[in-house]
Chains A and B, each alone.
Chain A
């Protein structure tokens, strides 16, 4: 019998090792898997490479993981926020590496890893400093940049409902990076607010098929509160 449900976030992350690449879903606070980030902090794992759209807000969650100096490198599109002071301080002190990736390239590089694509040419970033050092090609007269997939050892995502096979639904814009990150990691851990009987999810509404998910943890629903930032440009 297949049963991917685990009793706790701690049990789901017990095998995270130093140096792991950990993808964390969420855009602002929508879809951010708070319980899993806290459990990641509790593992004590260091030297992590973290993939998330942003670089932490305030003093909790990802910001706390950063403040504890457990992250060697951030791969993200928008680290600068009104309340990203922990990342800002580490970055200015040269204590963290930043790979800045345009948001759509970030999503597509993650998707490419999940889809077994070895690289792809994208027009995004062509002619800019973010394409520096990368192979470029003119295709039908338009400039493209070769981008590589981003693989994860773990993906930590927040979904809405799931079943013991790992099938997932999401809630509104909390879906964001969840489906692509689930595809791209060796071990995908999803929190859901409800674990339902097999067959209870409408098969037409399953967004992430269970084969992309290895572990499922039920967490209480807590209303997502305001967070994140007002983007500058």
Chain B
């Protein structure tokens, strides 16, 4: 977590990336079909636990993904959406791109977990483009995932490096999808987004709802 510690956060123990990933994993039920986005969400796979059978999908055309192969066993015909070598579990299979995205758009994917630049109280997501004039725009599967999965979860730092909340009244970065995020997991709080309301489900140790509210202008945070 790179965000500076505003003085208001003195005494607050922020959740680490690993702790956030574990928290997301706790909310993934046995039997779910899940797509973990590139970046922060990838770590969720480390916390799913042997007691649950969760089927991991990757949009380049594989379902039933296993962990990274041992060093030396990499096969670059078997990769995930981040181009990293993976393995295939028994029961896993391959399919072409149109089928892979039909799994999202057709409502067959239970959960996707994505990173975010900004999320609005209405659940709008911005995670593909900063809109900077010299930036090369690249969207990949983000838009399909965001609106295609039955449930879209977001993992992010709550604040930008400049200390501004990334949960905003309205996204200023180009949108990925409208009203698609149902729950937000961050280093400071877990927040449900439904019907335009932001409900704080969990607060980092030492953080009060009032303090979180003071960091989140323009949105009324509700207690669970």
Q: Which residues of A contact B (CB under 8 A)?
A: 27-31, 77-81, 84, 87-88, 91-92, 98, 100-108, 110-111, 122-130, 143, 170-180, 207, 223-233
Contacts and interface: CB of A to CB of B under 8 A. Distances in A.
Given A77-B141, A92-B134, A175 B61 contact: yes
B52 to A, nearest CB: 24
Interface in B29-67: 37-39, 58-62
Main secondary structure of the interface of B (DSSP, over half): loop
Nearest to A170: B94
Nearest to A27: B60
A185 to B, nearest CB: 15
Interface string B69-83: 000001111110111
B101 A103 contact: yes
**Chain A at the B interface: mostly helix, strand, loop or mixed?**
loop
A180 B98 contact: yes
Nearest to B65: A173
Given A123-B147, A178-B96, A80 B104 contact: no
Given A128-B143, A175-B94, A233 B39 contact: yes
Contacts of B105: 104, 122-124
B100 interface: yes
- Closest CB pairs A-B (n = 9): A104-B101, A104-B144, A228-B83, A80-B138, A107-B97, A224-B76, A80-B136, A103-B141, A102-B143
Interface string B139-181: 1111110011000000000000000000000000011111000
Contacts of B128: 233
A233 to B, nearest CB: 5
A107 B100 contact: yes
Interface of B: 37-39, 58-62, 74-79, 81-85, 88, 94-98, 100-102, 104-105, 114-115, 117, 127-128, 134-144, 147-148, 174-178
Contacts of B78: 30, 172-173
A88 B96 contact: no
Contacts, number: 177
A28 B79 contact: yes
Residue in B61, B88, B178 with the greatest tally of chain A CB atoms within 10 Å: B61
Nearest to A129: B174
B96 A100 contact: no
A92 B134 CA distance: 7
Contacts of B136: 79-80, 84, 87-88, 91-92
Given A124-B105, A128-B176, A173-B94, A231 B139 contact: no
Contacts of B178: 126-127, 143
B139 A102 contact: yes
B76 A30 contact: yes
Contacts of A124: 105, 143-144, 147-148
Contacts of A31: 77
B147 to A, nearest CB: 5
A230 B38 contact: yes
A103 B139 contact: yes
A169 to B, nearest CB: 11
Contacts of A171: 77
Given A178-B96, A230-B82, A233-B38, A173 B77 contact: yes
Nearest to A110: B98
Contact of A176 (B61, B140, B143): B61
